[in-house]
Amino acid sequence: MAAYPWTAETWPIASAMIHRRNALGDGRTVQDQSAEEWAVALGEVRAAGFHHVDPTDSWIRLADLEPARVDEFMAVARSLGLGVPAISTARRSVIDPVEGDAYLAYGHRLIDTAARIGATAVSFGFFGPLSPEQQRALWFWTVPGVVNPDEPATWAKAVERIRELGRHGAELGIEVALEMYEDTYLGTAESAVRFCTEVDLPNVKLNCDIGNLVRLHRPVEHPQAMMEKLAPFAGYWHAKNYLRLEDSSTGVVMSSPAPMESGVINYREAVRLALSHGFRSAFLLEHYGGDGLSVCAANQQYLRRILSTALATSR
């Protein structure tokens, strides 16, 4: 097995930017902000203790900025001591029935942008835009969203388009990570493994964000059982956790975001399992509700403790 590229202290663990939105209160978007304004948001991340950030495209679409503005953004990040190991894209599915072609082109621009800034991975998914009902809900995952069609032709189209992005990524040394998400072709461990296997490219891996599944108010596979299937395919990893309560007498299921060490996913075992199968990618930390950035900061320390033990015992 290849040596680990980092220590527990240097392993890239990025903060997501889901605690901030692209739209601003004054009618502008983050795309329009000055370098000084970007520095405020990024400085907050650095002050929380992070050395890495994922400029998640729900916050800023780097691929839609002019190259000079991308360079300006990166200059701000580097001046604050922040690296960008990867970029995540959300709700821009390459099989969207209306915008799929445009999102495929965007995906290619995103891969080019990742290479330009020195990132090594891009995360893609097949989940669609939030419905008005989801936007009104306290937790959007409690309301049904977009469902990928149970059609062989659409599945094949998804495989071919991800294969196309994967080949582009391989040319530039970029990993393509596919995000787990309910009611998509990556909505169960079995389906995600089948999909990744059909794409059949070494740089196309699975973003094992099983937090997106354990939060659902419906029956789901046990997290450990999911990870046993996913670990050999694990790549850039969105990590978060949830409390989950199940009443077997009524079938009622409830969930709530939780710190990584407190939720139903045993990340100590999940990380150890992934490492044993060759996981060598960055992490991204997410948390919904309250002061998500501070929860992620605490989660970073927990994850580094896990890595310290796992790396020491696996040498």
In this structure, what token pair is assigned to residue 123?
A: 């995360």
Domain coverage including residue 54: 13-313
Give a yes or no: residue 1 inside a domain.
Answer: no
Give a yes or no: residue 4 inside a domain.
Answer: no
First to last CA, the chain: 10
Q: Which of 10, 109, 20 is nearest to 67 (CA)?
A: 109
> CATH number for the domain including 281?
3.20.20.150
Q: Which of 308, 297, 313 is nearest to 46 (CA)?
A: 297
Give a yes or no: residue 7 inside a domain.
Answer: no
In this structure, what token pair is assigned to residue 238?
A: 């969105």
pLDDT, residue 20, reads 93
pLDDT, residue 313, reads 86
In this structure, what token pair is assigned to residue 203?
A: 């740089």
Give a yes or no: residue 3 inside a domain.
Answer: no
Number of folded domains that form the chain: 1
Give a yes or no: residue 71 inside a domain.
Answer: yes
Taking only the tens of pLDDT, the chain with its 315 residues reads 568 999 999 999 999 999 999 999 899 999 999 999 999 999 999 999 999 999 999 999 999 999 999 999 999 999 999 999 999 999 999 999 999 999 999 999 999 999 999 999 999 999 999 999 999 999 999 999 999 999 999 999 999 999 999 999 999 999 999 999 999 999 999 999 999 999 999 999 999 999 999 999 999 999 999 999 999 999 999 999 999 999 989 999 999 999 999 999 999 999 999 999 999 999 999 999 999 999 999 999 999 999 999 999 876
Give a yes or no: residue 260 inside a domain.
Answer: yes
pLDDT, residue 297, reads 98
Phi, psi angle pair for 237, to nearest 5°: -120, 115
Give a yes or no: residue 121 inside a domain.
Answer: yes
Give a yes or no: residue 6 inside a domain.
Answer: no
pLDDT, residue 178, reads 98
In this structure, what token pair is assigned to residue 200?
A: 């059949």
Please report the DSSP string for 114-170 in residue order: HHHHT--EEEE----PPPHHHHHSSSGGGS--------HHHHHHHHHHHHHHHHHHH
The Cα 103–Cα 107 span in angstroms is 6
